[in-house]
Structures are given as C-alpha cells and as structure tokens.
C-alpha cells in the first residue's frame, strides 16, 4: 500500500535506457514495496529529448503502449515526460503545434499522466521571461491534452531545479516567482533539493522553495543517481531527509542508479521511509532492505552469502561522498597498512583483516557468478572486481614492501582516475 500520493521512480538518467524486461521487473518490485509512480524520462531516448518533435516510430510506439499496459497491470501509474527545452522556440507556431501534437500522439498510446522537463538547458538572459514561456508551453499542452480540464498529473521540471541553480537565491529568484505565480495550481513542480545531488535536504529548505513556487514541490531525488561517474553505484539507504520532510512535499520520486538491479536497497528504503514510524533510521532501513535483497544472492547453496557479506558490499558503495561504517573500517585499516610507521606485527594483523574483507566480497561475487540472476551479476561485477583488485594490490604491495616491487603502490587507471586523485585530500 502506498503511503504518499506520488511515490516512486524516475527513469531520468543519462545513458542507456532500461529495457522492457528491466522495467517489468521494476514494476513488480514497486508494486510489492508500495511505490505507485514511474516517471518515464530517459534522457537518451531520442524521441524524449533530442528529437522531441518527432512522433515515435511504429516499433517504439508499440513498446510504449506495452509499457503502459505493464505498468497498469502492476498498479503503477506511468507518467510520460517530454524534454523539449534544448531547442523549443516558443515564438514559432510550428514548434507550438509540434509540442501539442507530440503529447497527444503519446496520449493515444494509452498514457494518462504527463510531464514537461526543462532541466539541463541553457538559461535565457531574462530568466523570468524564460519561465513565462515555459508556463505558456505547459498550459498549451494541458489544453491540448484535456480540453475539458486536467484529468491526470502534469509534472513540471524547472530550469532552476535546485537551490544552487536559483539566481540570486530561492526566495528571490525571478524565475521561480514567475513559475509560482504563473503555473496553474494543478501542475506539480519538481525539485532536487539544495543541489543537483543533495546528500541532505532540510525541511526548512523545502518550506522556502514551497513559498517561492506557491505549492509543495515534488521531490526529484538524485540521491542514488550514478550517471555522473563511472566509479559510483549507490547501495545505501534513503538518508539525509528528516521524516518531517514528508509532510512538506507533494511526493518523492527517486532517479536511481543506471544499472537496475542494484536499486533494491535504495528503492526499498525509500518506500520504507515513506511509511516510517518516528523511530525510523536509515541504518535499520538498510538492514530491512538487505534482508529483502539477500535471497537474490542465495540461489546456489554451494555458494552461501550472509547478510554481513552483503552489508559490507552495500557499505563499500554507499551514498554520494559517503561510505558505510564497514567500508570506513576497511579504509582505515588499508591506510594503516600503507603507513610506513606501522610495525611488522601490527601490519600482519591488519592484513588479516583486509583479507577477511576481501573474502566477503569474493563470496558475494562467486555466489552471483554461480546464480541465475545474470543481470545482477553483470551490474555488480565491475564494482566488486574493482574493490577485490585494489585490495589485492594493497596486500601484495604490503607484503613485498622494501623488496622488489616499487610499483605496487602506484595508482593505475585512466586519465579520469588520475584526475580523481588531484586537488583533494583522499
Ligand atoms: C541532472 C538531471 C538528471 C541526471 C541527474 C544526475 C535533474 C532534474 N536532471 O541534473 O537527468 O540524471 O542530474 O546526474 O536532476
């Protein structure tokens, strides 16, 4: 049972969109966990953004129709988003017509809820004027879809979609004010929090934006998004949002990791947060999520995985800029291992601890390799192998220290990996 009127998932990332089969699995899980809404907005569906004017070719239109049906069968509300902002020319009558026609063409496929996205586009010199055009475009679409009055959701993503993009600030932004005053109250406004990826969102920050846009915002939450770095995958709980936040928003939609399978902890935990009692914590929520996830790793009795093993994996790939406690411990131990001040005896016991951590990760990897959920294996494989390899490198380096492998501690990797080590402490 859903605990918020709009609660669910945005397929809103850059990169390869999910397949029909992946979306089907997502809907099953959403239904089981009480997530009621799926926003279709894959940045790299050509007809969603780059070629927004074009109707879907027959095969793609058929896939969309089947997707709506799949969502409906699972009791999930599907919202279709169009992102015309890269080159929509509102002064041009042909563009106005193309916009309305595109929405109506999608409506004919059975879609009942819609969204207009103006994120990640250039700002106009006069942002208030840009907002007024976007408002006009939205109302134009509403009238084309529902001449007798709005009958489904309309979600609007602003160009200033988080506090760090609001100029000069949230409370004083002419852009946000023009939206708030201009957009019909029936239109929901999406908001990602203080930042594009917000590790924390305070109630106060939400009340401030709600005042600016004259309605409770709908959270587009990028906490678990992974499309901006190869090195990231977020297996931590829904966190950094106080429970009181729920009363201040119109709903929450998570734009999660690109790989679908590793989204179980984050999405389960979002559902758990939405219905939580006052003693809820992200840590206990993660425990519940991992218990739900564990059976996926346990299909082959010869390769058992424990909750502790899975917890270490989740802590290694936790949340933006944050490791979970078990991974913090591994990092502390690894730092001591490479510290020249560490004595031989202590190093030996630290190495034993690192070996134990590596064994846990390898256990998870072996279980996946032997198991039936190949997608879960393929999604996690690069990240698990990466950690195992780096642990190996450290351990070999530490045991050969002072002998014949001066290269062992050198960083290997691509240019991006080298750049990552510059200009920051760690
Ligand atoms: C963004 C994009 C989103 C992307 C995310 C994380 C919004 C509103 N838009 O800015 O598509 O996945 O960052 O990289 O968040």
Residue 334: exposure state from Cβ atoms within 10 A (0-12, 13-18, ≥19): buried
Round to whole Å and give the CA distance between 130 and 231.
36
User: Do 306 and 254 lie in a common domain?
Assistant: no
pLDDT tens by residue, 226-248: 999 988 999 999 999 999 999 99
- Confidence tier at 416 by pLDDT (50, 70, 90): confident
User: Do 40 and 147 lie in a common domain?
Assistant: yes
Query: Average pLDDT in the 365-388 region?
Result: 97
> Of 120, 287, 375, 386, which residue is the catalytic one?
120
Lowest mean pLDDT among 26-30, 253-257, 262-266, 396-400: 396-400
Instruction: 374-377: list long-range contacts, CB under 8 Å, 24+ apart.
Output: 375/22, 375/260, 375/261, 376/261, 376/262, 376/296, 376/297
Residue 360 has pLDDT above 70, yes or no: yes
pLDDT tens by residue, 335-359: 999 898 999 999 999 999 999 999 9
Domain that holds residue 295: 277-426
Atom of ligand 1 nearest to the CA of 161: 8
Please tell me the predicted confidence (pLDDT) of residue 417: 81
Q: How far is the CA of 119 from the centre of ligand 1 (A)?
A: 8
- Confidence tier at 65 by pLDDT (50, 70, 90): very high
Please tell me the predicted confidence (pLDDT) of residue 401: 59
Peptide bond into 168 cis (omega under 30): yes
Residue 290 has pLDDT above 90, yes or no: yes
pLDDT tens by residue, 309-318: 999 999 999 9
User: Do 114 and 252 lie in a common domain?
Assistant: yes
* Residue 1 belongs to some domain of the structure: no
- Confidence tier at 413 by pLDDT (50, 70, 90): confident
- Percentage above 70 pLDDT, the chain: 96
User: Do 42 and 124 lie in a common domain?
Assistant: yes
8 A C-beta contact, residue 374 and residue 294 = no
Please tell me the predicted confidence (pLDDT) of residue 405: 55
User: Do 130 and 203 lie in a common domain?
Assistant: yes
Residue 191 has pLDDT above 80, yes or no: yes
Cα-based torsion angle of the residue sequence 99, 100, 105, 110 in order, rounded to the nearest 10 degrees: 120
DSSP H helices in 242-324 = 264-274, 282-293, 307-316
Please tell me which residue, 375 or 418, carries the higher pLDDT value. 375
Q: How far is the CA of 350 from the centre of ligand 1 (A)?
A: 40
Atom of ligand 1 nearest to the CA of 14: 12
User: Do 272 and 283 lie in a common domain?
Assistant: no
Please tell me the predicted confidence (pLDDT) of residue 346: 95
225 ligand 1 Cβ < 6 A: yes
Q: How far is the CA of 194 from the centre of ligand 1 (A)?
A: 13
Q: What is the tally of structural domains in the chain?
A: 2
- Rounded to the nearest integer, the mean pLDDT of the chain is 95
Beta bridge partners of 319: 322
Residue 400 has pLDDT above 90, yes or no: no
Residue 224 has pLDDT above 80, yes or no: yes
Round to whole Å and give the CA distance between 249 and 205.
11
Residue 426 has pLDDT above 60, yes or no: no
192 ligand 1 Cβ < 6 A: yes
User: Do 132 and 205 lie in a common domain?
Assistant: yes
161 ligand 1 Cβ < 6 A: yes
Please tell me the predicted confidence (pLDDT) of residue 414: 80
Please tell me the predicted confidence (pLDDT) of residue 352: 96
User: Do 264 and 284 lie in a common domain?
Assistant: no
CA–CA distances in Å: residue 48 to residues 44, 98, 305: 7, 13, 41
Query: Average pLDDT in the 299-305 region?
Result: 93
pTM for the structure as a whole: 0.96
Residue 1 has pLDDT above 70, yes or no: no
Residue 108 has pLDDT above 80, yes or no: yes
pLDDT tens by residue, 112-153: 999 999 999 999 999 999 999 999 999 999 999 999 999 999
Per the annotation, the verdict on 405 as an active-site residue is: no
Atom of ligand 1 nearest to the CA of 197: 6
Provide the b/e sequence for 298-308 (b: ≥16 CB within 10 Å). Answer: eeeeebebeee
Atom of ligand 1 nearest to the CA of 227: 14
14 ligand 1 Cβ < 6 A: yes
User: Do 99 and 134 lie in a common domain?
Assistant: yes
Give the H or E element holding residue 225.
none
Q: How far is the CA of 116 from the centre of ligand 1 (A)?
A: 14
From 9, 18, 50, 119, the mutation candidate for ligand 1 (largest count of ligand atoms within 8 A of CB) is 119
Please tell me the predicted confidence (pLDDT) of residue 397: 78
Question: Which CATH number does the domain housing residue 314 bear?
Answer: 1.20.58.240
Residue 7: name the closest of 110, 79, 80 by CA. 79
User: Do 115 and 181 lie in a common domain?
Assistant: yes
Please tell me the predicted confidence (pLDDT) of residue 111: 98
Please tell me the predicted confidence (pLDDT) of residue 305: 97
* Residue 104 belongs to some domain of the structure: yes
DSSP H helices in 2-116 = 20-33, 58-73, 93-107
Residue 404 has pLDDT above 60, yes or no: no
Residue 387 has φ and ψ, to the nearest 5°, of -65, -45
Please tell me the predicted confidence (pLDDT) of residue 424: 66
Q: How far is the CA of 254 from the centre of ligand 1 (A)?
A: 11
Residue 156 has φ and ψ, to the nearest 5°, of -120, 125
Question: Which CATH number does the domain housing residue 229 bear?
Answer: 3.20.20.80
Q: Domain ends where: 276, 291, 309?
A: 276
């Amino acid at each position: 049972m859903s605990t918020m009127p709009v609660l669910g998932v945005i397929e809103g990332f850059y990169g390869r969109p999910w397949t029909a089969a992946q979306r089907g699995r997502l809907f099953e899980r959403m239904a089981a966990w009480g997530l009621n809404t799926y926003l279709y907005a894959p940045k790299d569906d050509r007809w969603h953004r780059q070629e927004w004017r074009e109707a879907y070719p027959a095969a793609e239109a058929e896939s969309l129709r089947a997707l709506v049906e799949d969502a409906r069968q699972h009791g999930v509300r599907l919202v279709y988003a169009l992102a015309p902002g890269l080159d929509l020319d509102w002064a041009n009558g042909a563009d106005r017509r193309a916009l309305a026609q595109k929405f109506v063409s999608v409506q004919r496929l059975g879609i009942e809820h819609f969204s207009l996205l103006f994120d990640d586009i250039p700002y106009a010199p006069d942002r208030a004027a840009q907002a007024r055009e976007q408002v006009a475009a939205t109302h134009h679409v509403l009238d084309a879809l529902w001449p007798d009055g709005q009958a489904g959701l309309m979600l609007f993503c602003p160009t200033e979609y988080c506090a760090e993009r609001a100029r000069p600030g949230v409370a004083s932004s002419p852009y946000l004010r023009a939206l708030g005053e201009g957009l019909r109250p029936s239109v929901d406004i999406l908001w990602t929090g203080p930042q594009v990826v917000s590790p924390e969102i305070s109630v106060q920050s939400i009340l401030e934006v709600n005042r600016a846009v004259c309605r409770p915002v709908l959270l587009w939450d990028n906490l678990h998004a992974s499309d901006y770095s190869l090195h990231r995958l977020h297996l931590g709980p829904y966190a950094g949002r106080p429970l009181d936040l729920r009363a201040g928003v119109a709903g929450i939609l998570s734009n999660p990791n690109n790989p679908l399978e590793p989204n179980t902890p984050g999405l389960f935990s979002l559902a758990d947060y939405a219905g939580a009692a006052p003693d809820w914590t992200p840590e206990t929520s993660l425990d519940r999520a991992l218990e739900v996830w564990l059976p996926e790793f346990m299909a082959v009795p010869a390769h058992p995985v424990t909750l502790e093993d899975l917890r270490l994996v989740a802590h290694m790939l936790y949340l933006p800029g944050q490791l979970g406690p078990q991974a913090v411990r591994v990092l502390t131990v690894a730092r001591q291992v490479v510290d020249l001040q560490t004595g031989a005896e202590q190093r030996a016991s630290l190495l034993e601890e690192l070996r134990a951590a590596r064994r846990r990760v390898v256990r998870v990897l072996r279980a996946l390799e032997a198991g039936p959920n190949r997608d879960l294996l393929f999604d996690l494989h690069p990240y698990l192998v990466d950690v195992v390899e780096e642990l190996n490198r450290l351990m070999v380096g530490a045991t050969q220290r002072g002998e014949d492998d001066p290269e062992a501690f050198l960083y290997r990797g691509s240019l991006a990996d080298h750049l990552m080590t510059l200009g920051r402490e760690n």
